[in-house]
Amino acid sequence: MQKLTFFVVLTVLFLAVPAFSQTATGDILGTVTDASGAAVTDARVTVKNLDTNAIKELTTSVMGTFRVSLLPAGSYEVTVEKPGFAKFVQGPIVLRLNQNADLKIPLSVAATGETIMVSTDAPLINTTNAEISTSFDAKRITELPLSTNRNLLNIAASLPGVAQVSAGNSGFGQNGNQGTEGGSLQYSANGMRQRSNSFLIDGQDSYYASTGGLLQPMNNPDIIAEVRVITNQFLPEYGRAAGSVMSVVTKSGSNSLHGSLFWFHNSNKLNALTNAEKRLVPKPKEALFRIENQFGGTVGGPVIKDKTFFFGSLMRWTDRRLGSGSSISGAPTEAGRQALQSLAGSRPTVKALLENLPAGVPNGQSRTVTFGGQTAVVPLWVT
């Protein structure tokens, strides 16, 4: 089993076109006052993205307040200027997904040219709604275990109110080609059905319309910038969700060239046999094996400095295994192979069987096989 994934994002200066959805951005807001606590009106506020040098400017209101909306998650610097006051600069301010940074900015009377630098971060608060959510930044995603398939959905198991769906539970819902290399954790949030979980990638819906579940497999954590999982008190903008909303933001390019390389390995020496596997064959370690490798990398940087950026990712996934889930109970003898060839030799599955399975030794047993209304008795050697 092999899988090759290529992921590319082209990021354009966010001032030119506000392409980011409201569900994948944050705001920087604040109040500007003087030494007496009075509001400072018409002060010029400049918000600068430290990764791309993109800038947004506005002035404070009559109440001394300002709000810069639709900012992608990242690091920012805020500058406030007003004639007769010292310039105020604060940063880096790390803005998280769907969260607001609320600043209290005091300006001091000073001579022209004086600057006050504040290097502390701003508190990220939520004063506008009652959402209950958990955020995972890139560092946290890298350090958390994501099971053996490294699928991003496995982080949901660490949240309160989330229960993994086990054997015997309803499996109605899909998560990235369920049951294959893209499959991942099936979970219920707050007792709701699996199909009540909603998924967004860069602000866009990404789930099966009929059954729910993540549509796009996310098995490469290196492309993820941040994840926010809302488990209660959803806003109307999320529509169908009643269990949880997982919002994923992918990484983008910046003015500096950056990237990563990774290699994930799994094999027999890192796994234990089940009791069923131990009873299957006399020497299960010789009969059963698994060699899995995921390797690849990411790279991002500028196309045109301060204007256009790129980010790309490449991953190759190979998984060679021989498990105990299925076994061959019999193989056709040479006479049986001829019977199958004449009956359905042109069918791809039968053709593959005849090409890859050796002929068995006759032991007097047989099976009746029917294809397209025709029936034949196929001699078998039965294990």
39 DSSP 8-state letter? B
Phi, psi of 286 (to 5 degrees): -90, -30
The domain defined by 132-250 carries CATH number 2.170.130.10: yes
Which residues are within 8 A (CB) of 119 and not within 5 positions of it... i.e. 6 or more apart?
Answer: 90, 91
User: Quick one: residue 306, left, alpha or beta (phi over 0 = left, psi -120 to 50 = alpha)?
Assistant: left
pLDDT-wise least confident of 192-201, 252-261, 276-285: 276-285
pTM for the predicted model, two decimal places: 0.66
pLDDT at 176: 47
* CA distances from residue 172 to 89, 115, 210, 238, 346 in whole angstroms, order as listed: 52, 60, 10, 21, 36
Spans of all domains in the chain: 17-125, 132-250, 258-322, 330-382
Alpha-carbon Rg for the chain, nearest whole angstrom, is 29
pLDDT at 381: 60
Count CA within 13 A, CB hemisphere, residue 256: 5
Integer Cα distance of 54 and 253 in angstroms: 13
**Which range scores top for mean pLDDT: 95-104, 275-284, 324-333?**
95-104
Integer Cα distance of 149 and 266 in angstroms: 10
**Which range scores top for mean pLDDT: 11-15, 115-119, 148-152, 291-295?**
291-295
Q: Is the dihedral of CA 20, 23, 24, 28 positive or negative?
A: positive
**Which range scores top for mean pLDDT: 3-12, 74-83, 289-298?**
74-83
Task: Give pLDDT tens digits for 157-182.
Answer: 888 888 877 655 555 555 544 443 44
* CA distances from residue 245 to 144, 188, 202, 231 in whole angstroms, order as listed: 20, 12, 13, 7
CATH superfamily of 17-125: Carboxypeptidase-like, regulatory domain (2.60.40.1120)
**Span 301-311, average pLDDT:** 92
